[in-house]
Amino acid sequence: MVNSCKENKSRLLILYATQTGNALDVAERVGREAERIGCPALLLSMDEYDASCLSNEEIVMFIASTTGQGDAPDSMKAFWRFLCRKNLDRLNPPWLGGLSFAVFGLGDSGYQKYNFVAKKLDKRLSNLGAKAIIEKGLGDDQHPSGYEGALDPWLSSLWALLNQMYPTFFPRGLETINPSMSVLDPPKFEIIYHDVDKVQPLFSTVSDLKCMEMQIERARLMSPGKFSHDKIRPHCFLKMITNQRLTKSGCGKDVRHFEFEALSSVIEYQVGDVLEVLPSQNAAAVDAFIKRCDLNPDLFITVQPRGIENILPDSLKNVSRLPIRLKKFVELTMDVASASPRHYFFEVMSFFATAQHEKERLQYFASPEGRDDLYQYNQKERRTVLEVLEDFPSVQLPFEWLVQLVPPLKTRAFSISSSLSAHPGQVHLTVSVVSWVTPFKRKRMGLCSTWLAGLDPQERVCIPVWFHKSSLPSPPPSLPLILIGPGTGCAPFRAFVEERAVQNQSSSIGPVMFFFGCRNEENDFLYRDFWLSHAQGCGVLSEDKGGGFYVAFSRDQPHKVYVQHKMQEESQRLWNLLSTGAAVYVAGSSTKMPADVLSCLEDIIAKEGGVTRETAVRWLGALERAGNYHVEAWS
């Protein structure tokens, strides 16, 4: 962590908080443009910066993504908690009275709390006395050009304003920000190649699992992907023991139930936690990428920042300096056949194109005029790095640039759908196998879900995983619960019900109402027998226990029926639980469902509680602030 609180009046500090990598891409672009105009810039993730030093800065740019239902990225949470300290409000003069700042947010207007993180960050900085240089910028994934549709004009205005306010910061002039692609910035990383004979003995005395753990740790420490330190070394390795299809074949949806056992370490988690999986890439795609880029897969390499001090903790620095085979580094850190490259990838490619028509096309894509066409070609079609390189055969990018520009291979997070109390030594997942068709009718498959669905439980495949908390905390046994989880949103609630069933054997438990939804009773009624068995007699979901199980089949009748319709039908029972202190948990698709459920609850509270809609809104707000309204949503 950068914790030197000396005066920093001659640089631009860029702090970013990212969950998927977009905010990092924006921050790196801002840093490149600042350096082109001669302004020293320091780029840091918010969890790498000591927030107590913020009052010593003069100019700071904040780039922040909004995740889920208005949540801050993990890397921002500690930083935000510091900014929210009450004692900072009482300082006179204001704590940030000497700071000028700008905020750019990345979000999706399809979500209810669109760019919520950037908005509250902008407001909090102002409340602490900081002065906004420019109105906050709000990038929108729904824009025809993605977040860059808002970023381009916002950045242009920002540089113009900064040039007026701090002319000495920009000795080279604003005209150098967008050069006519005649100068290429040097790559930020360098590759060191090692003698194979001296490297191989390092691996001769370790087990296969230990060797795999070392390789993953080493590769992710070297990678420019900015993996957080708690997601570098896997918590353990799993082996799949069950791969069961839950949906009817031919129904258009493929949802799987996976069960895993540990191959190393001990499995430890609570209900509500998530499992992050590092997927394996298609071997043929990795080989094709290496061949296309004319790389030697057997060389041993180390990757390190060029001319920048390594800010890793001392305990990890030695590990990051150990060599790794080039092919293994690509497999573990570079997403060559799933993720789409970013805008800067095309700009750099234009410098290495030897065919004139390819150079001109790449220069057009990299220009402001070609931004919309690039979005249609690249992001809309979800073209992969390998596909783009194959479309421009005259381009031969050096490996240093590929390491910097290829999107990092990321873990995929899934809600855990089992209770450790019910299944000791196991973890279960409920996964929808992702597939879609692009505007130009190209079929795409989700990397991780497709890989998991293709695994044979009879074969020993080592799956590296991490366990993490989600936004669904494990509830105490006596707490009444209202669970709403259509589709694969039922996954964490299967775990909740299993946990309550175990607790019910030795202590009293609170009632549980669960609202589930799917398209058809015959096609995708996930875990049908499980829910129905717990809804009978004195089961966890039985009405005899004060709860209930209610399912909406949206397409089994002429009119659509969703979970909120079932909630309306049970409005009095719902209100009875809410008014006696029940907690609400919502999980599932992040499109309209969470907002529709919230609106439905507002209606129910207003109707059954005999209050105005405004009072109902405040009532639910208080429930959320008290830590009893939780949403886990995914796109």
The reply to whether 562 sits in an annotated binding site is yes
Contact 611, 605 (CB under 8 A): yes
The reply to whether 412 sits in an annotated binding site is yes
The reply to whether 21 sits in an annotated binding site is yes
Give the DSSP letter string of 466-523.
Answer: EEE--SSPPPPTTS-EEEE--GGGGHHHHHHHHHHHHHTTTS----EEEEEEES-TTT
CA atoms within 13 A on the CB side of 501: 22
The reply to whether 488 sits in an annotated binding site is yes
CA 619 vs CA 34, 267, 278, 612: distances in Å: 47, 39, 41, 10
The reply to whether 208 sits in an annotated binding site is no
The reply to whether 382 sits in an annotated binding site is yes
The reply to whether 25 sits in an annotated binding site is no
Cα distance between residue 321 and residue 315, in whole Å: 12
* Nearest CA among 417, 239, 223 for reference residue 324: 223
The reply to whether 38 sits in an annotated binding site is no
The reply to whether 447 sits in an annotated binding site is yes
For residue 446, the tally of other CB atoms under 10 A from its CB is 18
Contact 430, 526 (CB under 8 A): yes
The reply to whether 22 sits in an annotated binding site is yes
The reply to whether 140 sits in an annotated binding site is no
The reply to whether 446 sits in an annotated binding site is yes
The reply to whether 68 sits in an annotated binding site is yes
The reply to whether 245 sits in an annotated binding site is no
Q: Measure the CA dihedral 466/227/489/492, to 10°.
A: 30
The reply to whether 18 sits in an annotated binding site is yes
67: Cβ contacts below 8 Å, ≥ 6 apart: 19, 73, 117
The reply to whether 346 sits in an annotated binding site is no
Contact 242, 222 (CB under 8 A): no
* The Cα angle at residue 292 between residues 288 and 297, in degrees rounded to 5: 70
The reply to whether 355 sits in an annotated binding site is no
The reply to whether 327 sits in an annotated binding site is no
SS (HEC) of 21-82: CHHHHHHHHHHHHHHHCCCCEEEEEHHHECHHHHHHEEEEEEEEECECCCECCHHHHHHHHH
The reply to whether 284 sits in an annotated binding site is no
The reply to whether 112 sits in an annotated binding site is no
The reply to whether 621 sits in an annotated binding site is no
The reply to whether 596 sits in an annotated binding site is yes
| DSSP structural state of residue 127 | H
The reply to whether 142 sits in an annotated binding site is no
Report the SS3 class of residue 355.
coil
The reply to whether 615 sits in an annotated binding site is no
Q: Where are the alpha helices (DSSP H) in 64-199?
A: 77-83, 116-127, 148-165, 196-199
Report the SS3 class of residue 593.
helix
Contact 326, 301 (CB under 8 A): yes
Task: Extract the annotated binding site.
Answer: 18-23, 65-68, 141, 382, 412-415, 446-449, 488, 554-555, 560-564, 596, 634
Task: Extract the annotated binding site for FMN.
Answer: 18-23, 65-68, 141
Task: Extract the annotated binding site for NADP(+).
Answer: 488, 554-555, 560-564, 596
Task: Extract the annotated binding site for FAD.
Answer: 382, 412-415, 446-449, 634
